[in-house]
Amino acid sequence: MQNFKTIRFDYNNMMLDYIGEEGISSNEYDKLVSSASAAHEKFMQSCGSGMTGWMSLPYNQEDVVSDILKTAKEIRQDFDAFVVLGIGGSALGPMAVFQALCHLRHNDLQKSKRKAPKFYVEDNIDPERMNSLFDVIDLKKTVFNVITKSGSTSETMSQFLIIIDVLKKAFGSDASSHIIATTDEKNGNLIKIAKDEGFKTFIIPDGVGGRFSELCPVGLFPAAVLGIDIKLLLKGANDMRLACSKGELRTNPALAAAALQYYAMSRGKSISVMMPYADSLKLMADWYCQLWGESLGKATDNLAQTVNVGQTPVKALGVTDQHSQVQLYTEGPFDKVVTFIGVDKYRCEVEIPLVYDQYPSVSFLSGHTLNELITAEMIATEFALTKNKRMNNTIMLPDVTPHTIGQLLMFFMLETAYAGVFLNINTFDQPGVEEGKNATYALLGRNGYAEKANEIKSRPSKNQSFIVGL
């Protein structure tokens, strides 16, 4: 039987014993233990309703998974490139899982080694980027997965319009075989268009919002096309869900992480730095940043009081950003919590050879591996931060596999949901983003947005003396 290993959350360096008065005392810790238990209860009571549908995804999608696997197999046989059109929660998860679990130079590999289509995620509407896509794909051999929960996001829908137009011009009625839609069953225009055009469609279930959607077809389908074992991904997520099923901070890792960040926020730590020490996990930090930022950055709480809460998420990459950001983290303001993500066993080992015996300050590296070096650098950075009394904690992955990535995804989603309970806010809405979306509709003259257009028009005009140029 396969031996499944679990990820570990180490928060020693959040505690007073390790970082002095900046850390959490045992009294404060005891208080956190009881407030964590209450937060867990409150969250569990909300499960099964509202936007907590993502909690059931690890175990309630048997038929969906079969359909995904069948469709993915056909795509892998018929196409050389798979392009996701989506943004925010409809793009960051697929990108993070691709980066974590596929070859780090997937698209550059020869087809025989790649064993899956090339993968592109178009999560911006920069016209140059859109144009450049057509220079690297062969339209005949490309399938596009349009992903949008609302079915109406301007960025995704404009990309879709461009692509479908090109496909129709090239292939006529066969254009629809190049599009797969992932969207809400009832809301938005994409579902209507998909039905009219006969696109293969996957449904984003009720109760699953954009940034919590990686474990539904939004993420599972692209992952399956790439050959990732999505059943193991779901198993990992389910194992984490079960590990977090009790309201005991000492045994529930996501609850512990949320409680500690909440405490840190109350002590002025307004920045959360996510710093994986693995290129494969680089985009996990991007995904986390959206999840944490968009979920917790809120103006009002559940009692409609103005609170303006949240913690600014920042992504960093170990060791690369040791040479750009760590100076600030070590000596700058005491306003951050740094979370390292380490890996016990990388997927390969690279030895550093002995080449210049005569230079001891270089040759000391020889005989070691890059694995030892990257691990030592993570420990060294953790040591430096701790010595300088900086709050930090570490998530350790035994290895990077679908099972551990599933765990990590669920860990962060649960941590975010718990943090929202601590802050007493609506974790699952995004009124600030909606405001920008509506303003865009108004600026582009969408029907029904005249009032918003007037509001924009009547904003104070710019003072030219504050604009400086040559």
Reading the block at residue 299, the tokens are 């103006």
Select 156 or 176, whichever has its Cβ closest to ligand PA5: 156
- By CB under 6 A, tell whether 294 contacts ligand PA5: yes
Closest approach, Cβ 92 to ligand PA5, in A, equals 8
Closest approach, Cβ 260 to ligand PA5, in A, equals 24
Find residue 134's DSSP bridge partners.
none
- By CB under 6 A, tell whether 403 contacts ligand PA5: no
- By CB under 6 A, tell whether 153 contacts ligand PA5: yes
Cα distance between residue 122 and residue 146, in whole Å: 10
Select 294 or 382, whichever has its Cβ closest to ligand PA5: 294
- Residue 235 to residues 175, 399, 452, Cα–Cα distance (Å): 36, 15, 46
Sole binder of ligand PA5 in the list 23, 53, 58, 89 (CB under 6 A): 89
- By CB under 6 A, tell whether 247 contacts ligand PA5: no
| DSSP output for 348-363 | S--BPP---TT-HHHH
DSSP 72: H
The residues in 189-218 that bind ligand PA5, with binding defined as CB under 6 A, are 209-211
DSSP 299: E
- By CB under 6 A, tell whether 90 contacts ligand PA5: yes
Closest approach, Cβ 138 to ligand PA5, in A, equals 27
Closest approach, Cβ 135 to ligand PA5, in A, equals 26
Sole binder of ligand PA5 in the list 148, 280, 381, 394 (CB under 6 A): 148
**Residue 372: CB atoms within 10 Å:** 14
Select 19 or 84, whichever has its Cβ closest to ligand PA5: 84
- By CB under 6 A, tell whether 433 contacts ligand PA5: yes
- By CB under 6 A, tell whether 150 contacts ligand PA5: yes
Sole binder of ligand PA5 in the list 53, 88, 236, 406 (CB under 6 A): 88
Q: Hey, which residues are catalytic here?
A: 294, 323, 437
The span of 3-11, 86-94, 122-130, 365-373 binding ligand PA5 (CB under 6 A) equals 86-94
- By CB under 6 A, tell whether 394 contacts ligand PA5: no
The reply to whether omega before 97 is within 30° of 0 (cis) is no
The residues in 155-174 that bind ligand PA5, with binding defined as CB under 6 A, are 156
The span of 106-114, 149-157, 240-248, 339-347 binding ligand PA5 (CB under 6 A) equals 149-157
Closest approach, Cβ 415 to ligand PA5, in A, equals 16
Cα distance between residue 356 and residue 375, in whole Å: 24
- By CB under 6 A, tell whether 298 contacts ligand PA5: no
Instruction: Using alpha carbons, select from 407, 105, 74 the residue that is nearest to residue 236.
Output: 407
Q: Return the SS3 of 231.
A: helix
Instruction: Using alpha carbons, select from 79, 81, 118 the residue that is nearest to residue 102.
Output: 118
Sole binder of ligand PA5 in the list 36, 87, 162, 314 (CB under 6 A): 87
Select 396 or 433, whichever has its Cβ closest to ligand PA5: 433
Query: What residue type is assigned to position 97 of the chain?
Result: V
Select 310 or 342, whichever has its Cβ closest to ligand PA5: 310
Q: Which residues bind ligand PA5 (CB under 6 A)?
A: 87-90, 148-150, 153, 156, 209-211, 294, 430, 433
